[in-house]
Structure 1
Amino acid sequence: MSEQHQGSCLCGQVHYSVSGEFDSFYLCYCRHCQKDSGSAHAANLFSSQAKLTWLSGEALVRTYQLPNSRHVKSFCQHCGSALPAQLEGLLQVPAGSLDSELILRPRAKIFMASAAKWRKELKEVPSYQQLPDDLDT
């Protein structure tokens, strides 16, 4: 039986389905992924055979490919959420855009030479289940 996943953007105007298995799952720490995620890394799933189907909002999806690179990002033009992208026969799905449960775990952290220095100290940062009451603003 083929895997089936659903996903959407933050504003809910774009919904998609992916039919098929993911080949890999990477946490990418390259500078390009830091810039387009606004974080320490991007979390992307890849598949050479899965099929992407836009269920709603396909007209809102925009894709940017960094010139002279394989770096591509699709996003909702309304809310900016990262969405699946196709590049050279490879489907890239931002893991955080999935609404369905993902049991696959990251295979590796890649481009660690470009990793932000502050990410090394994250184990020492306190964790909360929700926004803390004493949030410094």
Structure 2
Amino acid sequence: MAQEVTGHCLCGAVHYRVADNLGIFQYCHCSRCRRFTGSAHAANLFVLRDNFFWVAGEENMREYSPPDTKYFRTAFCAVCGSSLPWLSKNGKVMVVPAGTLDEHPGVEPSQNVFCGSRATWYKAAADLPEYDTLPPKT
């Protein structure tokens, strides 16, 4: 069954729709994803190009395509700088940053990839204390 979901950037200038996904949802720890997201890893959902649609604001999307990569490129909103879905260099798959989704995509993360490039300071979220709001002052 198809799982349709929507997403957008932080400022709302760019909106997209995903008609279905490939069932691949993973955390990527490669140095490129870490630098692009500014985080320990990227959380990426993979979607066939034909199942991805820009709804509004596509003109606000910008891309960066490193010349030395086989598949990787990035996309972001020119207004707010948020990560946006990007088309892989082979033109077949959209890589959707899961943090830009409006709802649950119908699939959950199933693997960590490029762990050999994991940040040396990385600590798994499950190993850290959790708070519903800011932690109490100590």
**Fold match by TM threshold 0.5:** yes
Deviation at 1:106, TM superposition (A): 1.3
Partner residue, 2:5: 5
Go from structure 1 to structure 2 and tell me whether the alpha carbon gap of 1:52 and 1:116 turns closer, same or farther (over 3 Å shift): same
Q: Distance in 2 between matches of 1:121 and 1:20?
A: 29
Contact 1:18 1:50 in 2 (8 A): no
The one-character-per-residue Cα deviations of 1:54-85 (angstroms, maximum 9, x if unpaired) are 11111100111111202111110111111111
Q: Percent identity?
A: 39
Partner residue, 1:92: 95
Q: Distance in 1 between matches of 2:55 and 2:28?
A: 28
Tell me whether 1:68 sits opposite 2:68 in the alignment: yes
Q: Distance in 2 between matches of 1:121 and 1:75?
A: 27
TM-score between both structures, scaled by the size of structure 2: 0.87
Partner residue, 1:18: 18
Partner residue, 1:79: 80
Partner residue, 2:42: 42
Deviation at 1:127, TM superposition (A): 1.7
Aligned residue for 2:121, secondary structure, equals helix
Q: Which amino acid aligns with 1:132?
A: P
Go from structure 1 to structure 2 and tell me whether the alpha carbon gap of 1:25 and 1:134 turns closer, same or farther (over 3 Å shift): same
Deviation at 1:130, TM superposition (A): 1.6
Q: Which amino acid aligns with 2:44?
A: N
Moved over 4 A (4+): 121-124
The one-character-per-residue Cα deviations of 1:108-132 (angstroms, maximum 9, x if unpaired) are 1011111112223644432211223
Q: Distance in 2 between matches of 1:52 and 1:122?
A: 30
Aligned residue for 2:54, secondary structure, equals strand
Task: Note the residue ranges of structure 2 that are not aligned, 5 or more in a row.
Answer: none
TM-score between both structures, scaled by the size of structure 1: 0.88
RMSD: 1.9
Q: Which stretch has the larger CA shift, 16-25 or 49-58?
A: 49-58
Go from structure 1 to structure 2 and tell me whether the alpha carbon gap of 1:134 and 1:113 turns closer, same or farther (over 3 Å shift): same
Q: Pick the structure with more strand per residue.
A: 1
Go from structure 1 to structure 2 and tell me whether the alpha carbon gap of 1:17 and 1:121 turns closer, same or farther (over 3 Å shift): closer
Go from structure 1 to structure 2 and tell me whether the alpha carbon gap of 1:43 and 1:51 turns closer, same or farther (over 3 Å shift): same
